[in-house]
Amino acid sequence: MENFGYLFAAYTIIFAVIFIYVMFIWRRQQRLEEDLRGLSRRVDEVDRKAAIKSAS
């Protein structure tokens, strides 16, 4: 089993990097989803106000 350490290191790094990258994308996605929810709430509010105003 000579050099097993190298093999192990290579595969660990591959999966670690991919995992970190996925986490990074996922975190970003979470943040964006939050932003999106907040935004659509505000848009709805403004739309409703505009509707009330034009009705009155």
Partner 1 sequence: MLMVAALYMVFLYVPTEAAQGIVQRIFYFHVPCAWVAFAGFGLVAISGVLYLWLGQDVWDDLGYAAAEVGMVFCTLVLITGSIWAKPIWGVWWTWDSRLTTTLLLWLLYGGYLMLRAAANESPNGARLAAVVGIVAALDVPVVIVSVRLWRTIHPAVLVTKQGGHGLQDPRMVTTLLVAMAAFTVLFAWLLMLRFATLRMRARIDRLTLRLALAEAAAQDI
What's the CA gap between 27 and 39, in Å, rounded? Answer: 19
Return the DSSP state at 1: -
Q: Is 55 in the site for partner 1 (CB under 8 A)?
A: no
> How many residues in the chain?
56
Q: Is 56 in the site for partner 1 (CB under 8 A)?
A: no
What's the CA gap between 16 and 18, in Å, rounded? Answer: 6
Q: Is 49 in the site for partner 1 (CB under 8 A)?
A: yes
Interacting residues with partner 1 (CB under 8 A): 1-4, 6-7, 9-11, 13-14, 17-18, 21-22, 25-26, 28-29, 32-33, 35-36, 39-40, 42-43, 46-47, 49-50, 53
